[in-house]
C-alpha cells in the first residue's frame, strides 16, 4: 500500500509539470520522488541479484553471462512496467552498449553520483523528472564477472568477449561505483 501511495504521489507530481516547459521541483516533490525511486531501484536490484545468483548456482559464471545477455534487459523492463516507469542501468564503463550514459541529463547525474555516491533527482530540458542512484560492487559474486582478470575465470572472460566485444565493465573491486540506476516516468499530457 505504501508503494502504491508513493506511486500516486509521484504521478501527481509529474502531471503538474507543464507540457511545454519546466516547473521547478519543490522540496516535497523531490522527497517523494526520491522515496519512490529508491523503492523501485531496490526492487530492481533485488530481482537482478536473485536471478544472477540463481544463474551462478545453476551453471557457474559462464552460464550467468549467457543469462544476463538474454534476460537482464527483459527483467529490467518488467520491473519498470510494474511501476509504470522506465528503468535503465547506466555506466561510463558499460558491458552492454544499451547501458551507456546517453543524455546530457544522464551525464550530469553521473558526475554528481561519482562525486557524492548518493542518489539524485534531475530534470531534463523538457521538464521530465529522472531519479538516479549509484550501483556499487557490493557482493563477491559481482567480482566474478566484473573484477580483474585474476578474479574472472578464463572461460567466463571468453564468453564476455564473445557476447560483448566492446566490454568496459571489468577491473572493479568490492565497494567501487559500477554504474547508476536511471528511473523516469512518463509525463502526463
- Confirm if 94 and 106 have CB atoms less than 8 A apart: no
Q: What is the pLDDT of residues 157-169, one digit of tens each?
A: 999 999 999 999 9
**Lowest-confidence range among 20-24, 100-104, 105-109, 166-170?**
20-24
For the entire predicted model, the pTM comes to: 0.84
Of 33, 28, 29, the residue nearest 7 (C-alpha): 33
Instruction: Cell numbers for 28, please give them.
Output: 516535497
**Lowest-confidence range among 20-29, 127-136, 163-172?**
20-29
Tell me how far the alpha carbon of residue 49 is from its chain's centroid.
Answer: 12
Per-residue pLDDT band at 127 (split at 50, 70, 90):
confident
Q: What are phi and psi of 85, to 5 degrees?
A: -135, 160
SS3 21: coil
SS3 55: helix
* Cβ neighbours around 136 below 10 Å, total: 14
Domain regions of the chain by residue span: 2-185
- Confirm if 133 and 180 have CB atoms less than 8 A apart: yes
Q: What is the DSSP letter of 164?
A: -
Of 104, 112, 96, 101, the residue nearest 160 (C-alpha): 96
How far is 69 from 134, CA to CA, in rounded Å? 22
Per-residue pLDDT band at 2 (split at 50, 70, 90):
very low
Of 110, 83, 85, the residue nearest 99 (C-alpha): 110
Amino acid at each position: 500500500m505504501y508503494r502504491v501511495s508513493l506511486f500516486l504521489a509521484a504521478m501527481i507530481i509529474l502531471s503538474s509539470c507543464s507540457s511545454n516547459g519546466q516547473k521547478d521541483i519543490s522540496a516535497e516533490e523531490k522527497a517523494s520522488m526520491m522515496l519512490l525511486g529508491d523503492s523501485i531501484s531496490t526492487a530492481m536490484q533485488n530481482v537482478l541479484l536473485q536471478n544472477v545468483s540463481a544463474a551462478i548456482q545453476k551453471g557457474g559464471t559462464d552460464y550467468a553471462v549467457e543469462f544476463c545477455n538474454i534476460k537482464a534487459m527483459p527483467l529490467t523492463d518488467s520491473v519498470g512496467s510494474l511501476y509504470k516507469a522506465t528503468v535503465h542501468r547506466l555506466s561510463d564503463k558499460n558491458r552492454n552498449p544499451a547501458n551507456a550514459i546517453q543524455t546530457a541529463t544522464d551525464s550530469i547525474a553521473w558526475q554528481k553520483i561519482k562525486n557524492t555516491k548518493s542518489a539524485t533527482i534531475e530534470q531534463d530540458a523538457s521538464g521530465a523528472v529522472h531519479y538516479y542512484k549509484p550501483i556499487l560492487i557490493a557482493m563477491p559474486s559481482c567480482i566474478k564477472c566484473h573484477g580483474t582478470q585474476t578474479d574472472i575465470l578464463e572461460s567466463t572472460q571468453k564468453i564476455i568477449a564473445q557476447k560483448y566485444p566492446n566490454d568496459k565493465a571489468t577491473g572493479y573491486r568490492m565497494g567501487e561505483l559500477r554504474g547508476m540506476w536511471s528511473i523516469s516516468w512518463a509525463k502526463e499530457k
